[in-house]
Amino acid sequence: MRHYNIPIFIPHQGCPFQCVYCDQKIIASKHEAPTLLEVSETIERHLATIPSEDTEVEIAYFGGSFTAIASEVQETYLQAAAPYLEDERVVGIRLSTRPDCIDRDILGRLDRYGVKTIELGVQSLDDQVLKMSGRGYTSDDVFKACQVIKDQGFKLGIQLMIGLPGDDRARDMQTTKLAIGLNPDMVRIYPTVVIAGTVLERALNRGDYVPLELNEAVGICKDMYLRFAAAEIPVIRMGLQTGEELRREGSVLAGPFHPSFGELVQQEIFCDQARSLLGDYMRRNGLQAELQLWVNPRDLSLLTGQQRRNVLFLTEHFGMRSILIKTRSDIERLTIGISQPHGLEVDTFLKRQEMLERIQDEP
């Protein structure tokens, strides 16, 4: 069953919060709240392109703070989705909001209108980071919100950010550990970038904020992803959506912005997996000048990396002459095989699951 979200952006006009990375004035000036006619046109347009067999469609109200907007406005948008739920063309509504804009009454209303999934913009579970980022709530508020969301039977999504003011790798890993304890149904991870016109831009100009380098952000995201994967929690997105605004010249001033950020993280994971397999092979068979690695054709670019970066790194790391990459469509996805050069049979495989089990055994 394939899942589709029909995204509808609901701006939080007049948001009273001051998150340091947010350019809400620009967002609010660029996005008018959609009319009900526009909402139904958007839904119809998407439904016309989504296959009806074996699919599960949700209407996704995103924008960050759905339950912080006026309750009558929330109701209007929720009602707009009702006909599609009634004729079963969509299975539910999902929305994103802040952890401190959730309580049992709000959840009762969402439930009545068919909301199934709530994504919380948690960002961090470190109180110092939350404070320095101007989020306006504590980790305790997050724990309480997650608990009531789960208790009332909603699916829970958690959005996390790395590279916020006061943040570092250790705090990100601690946030990951605590987030796993919340048992979310899905996670998104976003690297912090400096957007023009934000508090962060002023901090950057004063030298009070140093953004992550791209390779640091990819490395932290990789470690978080692997921890979530080992706990069987899907990470459904890594990296910002490269919408029109972010692509506009002068919009992103600094930070680890990359249009294929998630792909870079996946390539690093394949590199680690291949390093683990090559290391095991050489421990058993002695040093080798040449070897072949095998993958499913759909994983080829993830194993080789951008501009063959992974192959070059692994060749140098193991002091080899060359590593040949071969594909075979009967190899499972996320699995790497190894063999002698020019061999037609694979000697050993390392599945992603086995790699994750090793991570789980680490302290």
3-class DSSP state of 124? coil
Q: At residue 219, what is the residue type?
A: G
Nearest to 98, CA basis, from 71, 115, 123: 123
According to DSSP H, which parts of the chain are helical?
24-30, 36-49, 71-86, 104-112, 127-132, 139-151, 169-181, 199-206, 214-230, 244-247, 261-285, 300-304, 309-317, 352-361
Identify which of residues 139 and 288 has a Cβ nearer to ligand SF4 in the complex. Answer: 139
Residue 15 engages ligand SF4 in binding (rule: CB under 6 A) = yes
Q: Near ligand SF4 by CB under 6 A, which window of 13-21, 153-161, 209-217, 297-305?
A: 13-21
Give the nearest distance from C-beta 65 to ligand SF4 in angstroms.
5
Binding mask 170-209 for ligand SF4 (x = CB under 6 A): ----------------------------------------
Identify which of residues 15 and 142 has a Cβ nearer to ligand SF4 in the complex. Answer: 15
Query: 93: which 2 tokens?
Result: 């509504």
Q: Are 111 and 152 in contact (CB under 8 A)?
A: yes
Q: Near ligand SF4 by CB under 6 A, which window of 15-23, 36-44, 102-110, 205-213?
A: 15-23
Give the nearest distance from C-beta 9 to ligand SF4 in angstroms.
12
Q: Which long-range contacts (CB under 8 A, 24 or more apart) does 34-38 make?
A: 34/8, 34/9, 34/10, 36/76, 36/77, 36/80
Give the nearest distance from C-beta 12 to ligand SF4 in angstroms.
5
Identify which of residues 12 and 227 has a Cβ nearer to ligand SF4 in the complex. Answer: 12
Residue 99 engages ligand SF4 in binding (rule: CB under 6 A) = no
Q: How many other CB atoms sit within 10 Å of the CB of residue 134?
A: 16
Residue 12 engages ligand SF4 in binding (rule: CB under 6 A) = yes
Nearest to 180, CA basis, from 123, 256, 233: 233
Q: Are 242 and 278 in contact (CB under 8 A)?
A: no
Residue 94 engages ligand SF4 in binding (rule: CB under 6 A) = no
Residue 64 engages ligand SF4 in binding (rule: CB under 6 A) = yes
Give the nearest distance from C-beta 164 to ligand SF4 in angstroms.
12
Query: 294: which 2 tokens?
Result: 């095998």
Q: Are 149 and 107 in contact (CB under 8 A)?
A: yes
Residue 17 engages ligand SF4 in binding (rule: CB under 6 A) = yes
User: CA 155 from chain center: how many Å?
Assistant: 16
Residue 266 engages ligand SF4 in binding (rule: CB under 6 A) = no
Q: Are 89 and 47 in contact (CB under 8 A)?
A: yes
Q: Near ligand SF4 by CB under 6 A, which window of 17-25, 144-152, 177-185, 255-263?
A: 17-25
Give the nearest distance from C-beta 106 to ligand SF4 in angstroms.
16
Q: At residue 217, what is the residue type?
A: A
Identify which of residues 16 and 51 has a Cβ nearer to ligand SF4 in the complex. Answer: 16
3-class DSSP state of 138? coil
Nearest to 83, CA basis, from 117, 52, 40: 40
Q: Which of residues 289-318 bind ligand SF4 (CB under 6 A)?
A: none
Kindly tell me which residue out of 6, 43, 65, 191 binds ligand SF4, with binding defined by CB under 6 A: 65
Q: Near ligand SF4 by CB under 6 A, which window of 14-22, 86-94, 141-149, 260-268?
A: 14-22
Binding mask 22-51 for ligand SF4 (x = CB under 6 A): x-x---------------------------
Give the nearest distance from C-beta 134 to ligand SF4 in angstroms.
8
Q: Is the dihedral of CA 128, 207, 168, 238 positive or negative?
A: positive
Q: How many residues belong to the site for ligand SF4 (CB under 6 A)?
A: 10
Q: Please report, as ranges, the residues that interact with ligand SF4 according to CB under 6 A.
A: 12, 15, 17-19, 22, 24, 64-65, 98
